[in-house]
Amino acid sequence: MSLNAEQIDILTDKYQIGLWQDLEQQVITDIARRVRATGRYTETAEIMARNMIENGFSSDKINTEVMRLLNADKQYKMAVAENTKAYKAMVTEEIKKTVEEAKKQGYKLIADAGNISYNNDLSMWKKAGVDLTKPNTFSQLINAFSMQTNKELKNITRTLAFQNTANGNTAILNLYQRELDLAVLKMSTGTFSIDTAVNDCVHRLCQSGLKTVDYASGRSYQVDSAVRMAVRTSCSQLAGKITEANIESTGVDLVITSQHIGSRPEHAIWQNKVFAYKGHSKKYPDFVEATGYGTVTGLKGANCTHEFYPYWENISVKDKDIVEPEPVTVDGKEYDYYQATQKQRTMERSIRALKREKKASSNIGSDNVDIDRKIRAKTKEYNEFSKTVGIRAKENRLKYVS
């Protein structure tokens, strides 16, 4: 256990300490797997390790545990270090050549990396003359978790699954909440991608026998769909809590919402607009009232990808409103951009359902020729539809995790 004394003081809840311990162990195991496969610290392994260190974990502990898992002797450790150093030198030289060539072509290369714990850069605050120092990533995350869960530090996603339903027993609910919390922690610390975090979560839940997630509303989702929605939404909400904390600490009262193509109609009406954060303005509408912030259907509600940022009059620059692409007709039906994305999600769920059916069929030794034909046909239809409407097909959403 490599949490320091300050972190232990913050994490007074045993449940939350357990999550961080699990995260640390999974990161170390994954790094060891990558080192074993390549004989060096890969870029991904280094990013994972760096993000863990930024969250207060010991670099010595991480390296020691990785080498322990690999049963590494002194010679092997030296070889890994030399391989990593040599590869870095090669990559650095390639980047240098690329930048030089780009400069000749007049291009500007921008590298931007970060994690949810500090979801905005400081440029907007600096332009306004506000000194906003980056706080400790670990404490900032815990504060965001605390705000998200009413200081319980549990059920970060605030899922309503298995409550007041036929499957609503405590064991299932606790298992589901904990696996979701761990997935959110993986993403919010920047140590795992959303696909990896979601797939690991789904795999562990499926191993427990859980196949569908039932909500008090009566709706039922397949585990992969429910987990992806919950994790993505929760991480967005945590980012919102951190933005709120920054705004509260500086006394800023105006905020502006982000915008994107294909926003759902109810959200399109308030995107890229300025609001009064606490409603103390005669010029701008109330932020919460106008956007529904904090509700399941509003800003940062279920599946909402909009952000909000501080706004200073006469300093901040408001972008032009985006122009939605023209509707596209496919097989006699017209789709605007948003409708096309929803059609994509439906097609993706259909393909995953067929893959689940194939898995179940294989388990009892049945012939899968007909199912394979359907999968190929549905996948072809999905790719052709995506190409026609001009929206990238998302292969990662077609994978079925069992």
β-bridge pairing 220-222 and 212-214 = antiparallel
Q: Tens place of pLDDT for every residue, the chain, 402 residues?
A: 454 555 545 445 566 667 777 777 787 888 888 788 877 776 667 767 776 776 667 777 788 888 888 888 888 888 887 777 776 666 556 556 655 655 554 443 333 223 333 344 455 566 666 655 544 444 555 555 555 545 444 445 555 554 444 444 556 667 777 777 777 777 666 667 777 888 888 888 777 777 777 766 677 778 888 888 887 777 777 777 777 877 877 778 899 999 999 999 999 999 999 999 987 888 999 999 999 998 888 998 888 888 888 888 887 878 899 999 999 999 999 999 999 999 999 999 899 889 888 887 787 777 788 899 999 999 999 999 999 999 999 888 888 766
Task: Give kind and range of the element (H or E) at residue 310.
Answer: strand 308-310
pLDDT at 121: 46
* Angle between the N-to-C axes of helices 43-54 and 59-69, in degrees from 0 to 180, rounded to the nearest 10: 140
Structure tokens at 203: 């795999």
Structure tokens at 130: 């506000």
Of how many residues is the chain composed?
402
CA–CA distance, 264 with 14 (Å, rounded to integer): 40
Domain range summary for the chain, segments of one domain joined by +: 5-105, 137-236, 328-398
Burial of 370 (0-12, 13-18, 19+ CB in 10 A): exposed
Q: What is the dihedral of CA 248, 251, 255, 258, to 10 degrees?
A: -50
| CB neighbour list of residue 375: distance below 8 Å, 6 or more residues apart | 351, 354, 355, 358
Tell me the sheet residues that pair with 334: 329
Burial of 9 (0-12, 13-18, 19+ CB in 10 A): exposed
Q: What totals of helices (H) and strands (E) does the chain contain, helices first?
A: 14, 7
Is the distance from CB of 354 to CB of 294 less than 8 angstroms?
Answer: no
Q: What is the dihedral of CA 342, 348, 353, 359, to 10 degrees?
A: -170
Is the distance from CB of 188 to CB of 235 less than 8 angstroms?
Answer: yes
User: Could you tell me where the DSSP H helices lie in 269-368?
Assistant: 287-291, 337-363
Residue reference for tokens 């800003």:
299
Q: Shortest CA distance to 226 belongs to which of 165, 148, 160?
A: 160
Backbone angles phi, psi at 381, to 5 degrees: -60, -40
174: number of Cβ within 10 Å: 14
Distance, C-alpha 40 to centroid of its chain: 27
CA–CA distance, 313 with 318 (Å, rounded to integer): 10
Task: Give kind and range of the element (H or E) at residue 86.
Answer: helix 74-105
CA–CA distance, 149 with 302 (Å, rounded to integer): 16
pLDDT at 138: 47
Q: Give one word for 381, left, alpha or beta, with left for phi > 0 and alpha for psi -120 to 50.
A: alpha
pLDDT at 98: 53
CA–CA distance, 6 with 55 (Å, rounded to integer): 12
Is the distance from CB of 46 to CB of 113 less than 8 angstroms?
Answer: no
